[in-house]
């Protein structure tokens, strides 16, 4: 057998002893975790607030639609129809004077509360029977933003205004 010459052996030996390493060092991994934690601390509160604003907006739009529905029902049934907040402000009901059952019950999204009301729509013209504007204020524990649904005095129209939610006039 022929012995490899010394020069070739010197060249191959460092390559044979060298280990191939892949992956991350502990320091690199910790740096990534720290950066991810900082990003989460910055983005999570604004994301939670955005979701709360969207829930308020959805609930306000639903209440607006239900107020218009209550007005239409008062004309169709020939009876006064009332929209009233449930105990705790977690929803509202639509009821008819002289009807045997509730027309509609709505439970708001988790964390959303409503205060104000009630409003009654007349069976004669579908107008609010109140001599003052009736307000329904929707709020959330997760944000300072709010929306208010207003039924103006002696009117059947519904208006929406807000605070902290883009696209709505301030109240």
Sequential DSSP letters for 80-99:
-EEEEEPGGGSEEEEEETT-
Three-state DSSP string of 23-38: CCCHHHHHHHHHHHHH
151-171: buried (b, 16+ CB within 10 Å) or exposed (e) per residue?
beeebbebebbbeebeebeee
Contact 79, 94 (CB under 8 A): no
pTM: 0.75
Confidence band for 79, pLDDT divided at 50, 70 and 90 = very high
Name the more confident of 42 and 13.
42
Instruction: Give the pLDDT of residue 136.
Output: 98
| Positive or negative torsion for Cα 14, 19, 24, 25 | negative
The mean pLDDT of 5-18, rounded to a whole number, is 59
Instruction: Give the pLDDT of residue 98.
Output: 85
Provide the 8-state DSSP code for 168.
S
Which tokens go with 154?
A: 């002696």
Instruction: Give the pLDDT of residue 65.
Output: 97
The mean pLDDT of 94-100, rounded to a whole number, is 90
Provide the 8-state DSSP code for 170.
B
Whether residue 155 is predicted with pLDDT greater than 80 in this model: the reply is yes
């Amino acid at each position: 057998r022929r012995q490899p010459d010394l020069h070739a052996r010197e060249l191959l030996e460092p390559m044979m002893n060298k280990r191939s390493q892949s992956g991350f060092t502990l320091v690199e991994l910790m740096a990534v975790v720290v950066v991810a934690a900082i990003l989460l601390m910055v983005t999570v509160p604004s994301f939670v607030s955005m979701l709360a604003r969207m829930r308020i907006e959805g609930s306000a739009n639903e209440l607006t639609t239900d107020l218009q529905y209550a007005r239409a029902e008062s004309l169709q049934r020939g009876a006064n129809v009332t929209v009233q907040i449930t105990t705790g402000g977690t929803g509202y009901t639509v009821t008819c004077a002289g009807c045997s059952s509730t027309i509609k019950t709505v439970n708001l999204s988790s964390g959303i509360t409503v205060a104000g009301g009630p409003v009654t729509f007349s069976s004669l013209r579908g107008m609010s029977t109140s001599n003052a504007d009736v307000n329904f204020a929707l709020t959330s524990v997760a944000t300072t933003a709010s929306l208010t649904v207003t039924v103006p005095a002696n009117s059947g129209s519904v208006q929406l205004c807000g605070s902290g939610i883009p696209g709505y006039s301030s109240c």
